[in-house]
């Protein structure tokens, strides 16, 4: 697959995912080449005119008071990248660094950064030849851009730093020799442009959203299966009740569940429930019944609880896709106006805020799905299912597995705390409000992974309950879910270690395989998270 970069070329979340794959290449459009060269020429003209421009003929950050002679600006450009390549912690995975390089190249291709064409061509070659800079994941506050991680990429362009090449970590210069590539000398502004942007936070956020999409769809499949084996009511999803509180997320979630459950023999229909309770009415005295006229919030409140998460997902997706196709540099070159404008385009607050929203929203999905699963295990509310779905009185069933879900919920409650308000004043109070965007995006992915594990537990437990109720009575969609699980995981007929079952469920849910199976069998529209057009 080849991805074209340049003006009017839109990147979406799926393109960012593809950029992470070693076989994906990138190419610059003719319009990109022209825009890059034009903005670079303007920077050269301004240097010849003796203009004072931040990061070109001044120091950076609190050092902006240092006015630098034009003939020393190349040395300063080199020093900026060298001094900021100071990340710590584990490495970002190769796929994420490739995405960062692709997004940065797309930014340069808009023609507002003033970098030389040779820099963009070398960055393109690194992507296409699978030479990937080694970038630590910690060390950025995502305010004057993701300075530290991006500086590690910038230094590689000059032949410094480490790269991953053909499965080995080596000096960038050695990898260049293998491929016949020449490093570049950073021109004025290029040290700053290489690292002044949200280009670590943005692809990390894009991947969080891609994973959130899978998890949201999986949560609705798990919810439907749990509702069926718990003999829940479909009445809360009646279009008449949803229509009088028409939040788009509530409407879409209610519609998805109503469509899935429509042909289930296990779901209690509202007409049958009404008749059952009408027959219990005694005009002379109160009558006690163990039957449920309406279900618990974790079953009947799905549209009202998961619906807002769907709305948050769309808000976050819009924010990230806008950022993917923006210029986040500073200062920026406006060639048609012959201007170099100073601003804070690099600030990642919009991304940090959206990732905090995503964190909170997905953590709530984990909470409600854990509560659904808990009902499957509790004979007081499971409507006839054995304790912990155990096969006999000597067995524990899913008793131990429930602790996994509980621990995931506890960790998520800590991680869901907003990081976008954890600002620190840095750089001599020059960067006095910072976003912590990459931290928020990393935490969002961790929360999503924890929720996925909660869903793995719920799906395994619900499949075990379906074994007891009779899987032939499930709706067609839930039968597909059940059969897909059973193809990998046998029912619990005696106690066994369930770690392997969790591993097999991970293979179904982590990459969206279970969702794809349902969509391929029943149509992609069955689980579409898109809101209908008004």
Q: Do the domains at 2-199 and 206-284+293-325+346-424+435-527 have one common CATH topology?
A: no
Question: Catalytic site residues?
Answer: 54
pLDDT band at 290 (very low <50, low <70, confident <90, very high): low
Extents of the domains making up the chain: 2-199, 206-284+293-325+346-424+435-527
- Per-residue pLDDT tens digits for 61-89: 777 778 888 888 899 889 989 999 999 99
pLDDT band at 431 (very low <50, low <70, confident <90, very high): low
Q: What pLDDT was estimated at residue 390? A: 95
6: left (phi over 0), alpha (psi -120 to 50) or beta: left
Quote the CA–CA distance of 32 and 34 in Å, as a whole number. 5
Quote the CA–CA distance of 6 and 198 in Å, as a whole number. 18
- Per-residue pLDDT tens digits for 169-201: 999 999 999 999 999 999 999 999 999 999 999
Quote the CA–CA distance of 96 and 466 in Å, as a whole number. 39
- Per-residue pLDDT tens digits for 357-394: 999 999 999 999 999 999 999 999 999 999 999 999 99
Q: What pLDDT was estimated at residue 424? A: 66
- Per-residue pLDDT tens digits for 473-532: 999 999 999 999 999 999 999 999 999 999 999 999 998 999 999 999 999 999 999 988
State the residue for tokens 């046998």: 490
Residue % of the chain over a pLDDT of 70 = 96
Q: What pLDDT was estimated at residue 71? A: 84
340 membership: H or E segment, kind and range: strand 339-341
5 membership: H or E segment, kind and range: strand 2-5
Task: Provide the pairing of β-strand 131-133 with 162-165.
Answer: antiparallel
**pTM for the model:** 0.94
User: Which CATH architecture does the domain made up of 2-199 adopt?
Assistant: Orthogonal Bundle (1.10)
User: Which CATH architecture does the domain made up of 206-284+293-325+346-424+435-527 adopt?
Assistant: Up-down Bundle (1.20)
Residues 42, 115 contacting (CB under 8 angstroms): no
- Per-residue pLDDT tens digits for 248-272: 999 999 999 999 999 999 998 877 7
Residue 6 neighbours by CB under 8 Å, 6+ apart:
28, 29, 30, 31, 32, 33, 35, 106, 109, 110
Per-residue pLDDT, averaged over 128-144, amounts to: 92
């Amino acid at each position: 697959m080849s991805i074209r970069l340049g003006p009017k070329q839109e990147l979406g979340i799926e393109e960012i995912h593809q950029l992470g794959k070693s076989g994906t290449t990138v190419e610059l459009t003719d319009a990109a080449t022209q825009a890059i060269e034009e903005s670079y020429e303007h920077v050269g003209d301004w240097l010849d005119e003796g203009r004072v421009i931040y990061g070109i003929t001044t120091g950076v950050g609190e050092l902006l008071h240092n006015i630098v002679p034009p003939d020393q600006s190349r040395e300063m450009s080199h020093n900026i990248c060298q001094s900021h390549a100071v990340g710590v912690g584990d490495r970002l995975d190769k796929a994420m660094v490739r995405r960062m390089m692709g997004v940065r190249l797309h930014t340069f291709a808009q023609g507002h950064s003033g970098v030389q064409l040779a820099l963009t061509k070398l960055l393109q070659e690194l992507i296409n030849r699978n030479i990937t800079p080694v970038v630590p994941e910690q060390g950025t506050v995502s305010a004057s851009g993701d300075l530290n991680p991006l500086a590690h990429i910038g230094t590689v362009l000059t032949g410094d730093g480490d790269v991953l090449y053909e499965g080995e970590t080596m000096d960038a210069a050695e990898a260049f020799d293998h491929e016949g590539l020449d490093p570049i000398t950073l021109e004025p502004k290029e040290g700053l442009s290489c690292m002044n942007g949200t280009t670590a936070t943005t692809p990390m956020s894009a991947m969080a959203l891609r994973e959130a999409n899978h998890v949201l769809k999986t949560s609705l499949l798990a919810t439907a299966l749990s509702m069926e084996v718990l003999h829940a009511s479909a009445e809360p999803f009646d279009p008449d009740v949803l229509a009088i509180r028409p939040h788009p997320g509530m409407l879409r979630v209610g519609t998805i569940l109503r469509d899935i459950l429509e042909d289930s023999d296990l779901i209690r229909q509202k007409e049958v429930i009404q008749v059952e309770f009408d027959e219990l009415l005694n005009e002379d005295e109160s009558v006690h019944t163990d039957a449920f006229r309406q279900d618990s919030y974790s079953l009947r409140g799905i549209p009202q609880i998961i619906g807002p998460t769907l709305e948050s997902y769309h808000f976050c997706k819009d924010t990230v896709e806008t950022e993917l196709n923006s210029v986040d540099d500073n200062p920026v070159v406006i060639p048609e106006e012959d201007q170099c404008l100073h601003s804070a385009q690099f600030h990642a607050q919009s991304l940090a805020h959206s990732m905090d929203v995503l964190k909170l929203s997905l953590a709530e999905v984990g909470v409600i799905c854990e509560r659904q699963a808990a009902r499957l295990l509790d004979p007081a509310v499971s409507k006839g299912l054995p304790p912990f779905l155990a096969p006999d009185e000597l067995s524990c069933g899913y008793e131990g597995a429930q602790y996994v879900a509980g621990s995931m919920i506890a960790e998520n409650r800590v991680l869901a705390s907003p990081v976008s308000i954890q600002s620190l004043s840095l750089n001599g109070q020059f960067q006095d409000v910072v976003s912590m965007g990459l931290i928020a995006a990393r935490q969002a992915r961790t929360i999503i992974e924890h929720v996925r594990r909660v869903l793995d537990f719920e799906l395994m437990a619900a499949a075990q309950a379906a074994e007891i109720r009779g899987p032939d009575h499930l709706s067609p969609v839930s039968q597909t879910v059940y059969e897909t699980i059973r193809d990998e995981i046998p029912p619990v007929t005696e106690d066994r270690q369930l770690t392997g079952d969790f591993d097999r469920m991970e293979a179904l849910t982590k990459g969206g395989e279970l969702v794809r199976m349902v969509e391929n069998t029943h149509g992609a529209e069955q689980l579409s998270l898109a809101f209908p057009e008004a």
